[in-house]
Each structure stands twice: as C-alpha cells, then as structure tokens.
C-alpha cells in the first residue's frame, strides 16, 4: 500500500440547505415579514428607539462684558501660539473683536484668513462658551479687503503723523530746538 504525501483532502459537496442553516442569524423562531408577530416586533423596535431621544438641556446663558470676552479671546490666542499655531494666533490678534449682545464680530483682511479662521472656529467657540458661561455666543467673520495705508511722503507729513499719534512731540521739538518748518 502506497501513501502519497501530495494527496489533497477530498472536498464534500455542500447543499443549499446547509448553507442557509449556517448563515442563519437569529436562533429564535422564524417570523414572516407579513405576520402579526413581525408587526408587533417592528412596533416594539420603534418604541425602543423613541426612548433614546436626547433630553433638552438647559445650558447656561450668563451675561458677560466685552472686556471679559477680550480677556478670554487673548488667552485662547496665546495658548494657540504656545502650541505652535502661530497663524491662528495672529488671526485672532489682528483686530479686536466687537461684541453685539452675544454675537461677536471679527474683521479679517482677506478670504484666505477667513477660511483659516473658520477651521478653528469650533475650538474658539467652545473655549468662550465654557469660560464665559454663555452657550448662545456666535461669531461672525467679516472680510474687509480695503486696507488703507497712510504713506508719509515728506518730512512735514511724517511730523504730522507723529503729532497725531503723540501730541507731546511738539514739546520734544521745542526742547531740543529742532528746526522743522512747521
């Protein structure tokens, strides 16, 4: 008698009934889709789904001042800067936001800045809502692409600009006897 090592195991033919029996999911009694039992089961399933309705929570809505909002705004911006998100930090600090009730308005210089800001908007809103204890806060972003830059052309224009910033520059000019044709 010779035994061959390369002999493959014989496969047995499998009937359709065995496949259906093996893939049967439920171990309980079969219920027809059109029977009263299936209708009762469907109603019970719908009732159980209704019981998982999320309850309405009363979220805090305390009033807050613009200075409190600015304080938490800058804290959040500084924290982002420490984490390495310098662009977002600069976007938050580029302009002071304006508070109108619970709506915060921020003016950004271009559309690209607005898109970058909106990526991190949820984190900022979560921070402000949590620290100011008001969950009605909304943030509106306005794009203002008309950037006006004052150009100083000559010495007189530069002096006038410095005088607008600090009127005490006149005292400095007279104290040191600076000769500027004013």
Task: With a cut of 50, say whether residue 2 has pLDDT above it.
Answer: yes
b/e map of 117-138 (b: 16 or more CB within 10 Å)? beebeeebeebbbebbebbebe
Residue 153 DSSP class: -
CATH number for 66-143: choose from 3.30.410, 3.30.300, 3.30.420, 3.40.50: 3.30.300
Domain positions in the chain are 66-143, 149-182
Tens-place pLDDT, residues 141-150: 999 877 555 4
What average pLDDT does the segment 61-89 reach? Answer: 93
Sheet harboring 103-108: ordered strands across?
98-100, 103-108, 138-143
- Residue 147 φ then ψ, to 5°: -90, 120
Decide: helix, strand or coil at residue 31. Answer: coil
Global pTM?
0.52
Tens-place pLDDT, residues 39-71: 888 888 887 776 555 566 788 889 999 999 999
DSSP-assigned letters across all residues of 86-152: HHHHHHHHSS--EEETTEEEEEESSHHHHHHHHHTHHHHHHHHHHHHTBTT-EEEEEE------PPP
Q: What pLDDT score does 24 carry?
A: 47
Tokens representing residue 80 in the block: 């982002």
Tens-place pLDDT, residues 105-141: 999 989 999 999 999 899 999 999 999 999 999 999 9
């Amino acid at each position: 008698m010779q035994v061959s090592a390369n002999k493959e195991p014989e496969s047995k033919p499998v009937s359709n009934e065995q496949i259906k029996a093996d893939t049967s999911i439920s171990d309980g009694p079969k219920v027809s889709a059109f029977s009263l039992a299936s209708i009762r089961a469907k109603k019970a399933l719908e009732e159980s789904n209704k019981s998982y309705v999320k309850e309405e929570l009363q979220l805090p809505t305390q009033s807050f001042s613009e200075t409190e909002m600015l304080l938490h705004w800058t804290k959040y911006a500084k924290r982002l800067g420490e984490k390495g998100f310098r662009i977002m930090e600069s976007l938050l600090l580029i302009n002071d936001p304006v508070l109108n009730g619970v709506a915060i308005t921020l003016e950004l210089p271009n559309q690209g800045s607005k898109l970058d800001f909106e990526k991190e908007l949820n984190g900022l809103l979560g921070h402000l809502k949590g620290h100011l204890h008001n969950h009605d806060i909304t943030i509106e972003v306005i794009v203002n692409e008309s950037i006006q830059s004052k150009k100083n052309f000559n010495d007189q224009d530069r002096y006038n600009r410095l005088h607008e910033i600090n009127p005490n520059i006149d005292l400095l000019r007279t104290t040191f006897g600076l000769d500027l044709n004013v």
